[in-house]
Amino acid sequence: MKTYILIFLFFVFLTGCGGDNKITSVNYNLPPEPDPKINNTTLLGIDSNNNGIRDDIERKIVTQYEKPIEIEIMMGLAKLNQKILRNSPVNALKIEREISKIGDCKMYLRRQGIRINNAIGNIENFTYNTKLRVKKFIQYNKSLGGGAYGSSPDNYNAKACNFNVKQMLKDRK
């Protein structure tokens, strides 16, 4: 009997130690977790797959969100936060308009009966996790000059989403 239990535990251990970075539920092939010391010594961090999102943030999004639509929204938001770090504050208004489109996409999805977690704070906490990155985010916000930015219900449509939202909605059914 002990032999069977040991064999069972051995197989459980082996399946838990696969080492594969692929998350099969959403078909993401994740980059490896970067060394935090190296990742946090630069403004932009490590993006080994060159998709515009830091590897540590990409991994957090895919492991913390289950719905593919939520993952796409969060990836888009992470990409724009990375763009804030990469760009001059002169481009802040342009980036803010792109961020507004993500809100429009979320409103479109809400009209389709889909609620997306309001995780903007999570993405910002993940992104702006060093003094240098916080300083850049403050510069970005200052350059917006305290303006009020947003959109109207006319903008709450599928075109606001930066991924094939209609196909994802179709696949859900």
Diameter over CA atoms, the chain: 72
Domain annotation covers residue 14: no
pTM strictly above 0.75: yes
| pLDDT tens digits, one per residue of 164-173 | 999 988 887 5
Indicate if the pLDDT at residue 144 is higher than 70. Answer: yes
Domain for residue 10, yes or no? no
DSSP letter string, the chain: -HHHHHHHHHHHHHHHT----EETTTTEEPPPPPPHHHHTTSSS---TT-SSS-HHHHHHHHHH--SHHHHHHHHHHHHHHHHHHHS-GGGHHHHHHHHHHHHHHHHHHHHTT------HHHHHHHH--SHHHHHHHHHHHHHTTT------GGG-SGGGSSS-HHHHHHHH-
> Is the model's pLDDT at 104 over the cut of 70?
yes
Average pLDDT over residues 103-131: 88
Residue 42 included in any domain = yes
Condensed to tens digits (0 to 9), the pLDDT of residues 26-47 reads 577 899 999 999 999 999 999 9
**Domain assignment present for 28:** yes
Residue 45 placed within a domain:
yes
Instruction: Please count the structural domains in the chain.
Output: 1
Is 132 inside a domain boundary? yes
State yes or no: pLDDT of 124 exceeds 60: yes
Q: Of all residues in the chain, what percent carry a pLDDT higher than 70?
A: 83
Is residue 108 in a domain?
A: yes
**From CA 42, how far away is CA 36, in angstroms rounded?**
11
Domain of 32 in residue numbering reads as 21-172
98 located within any domain? yes
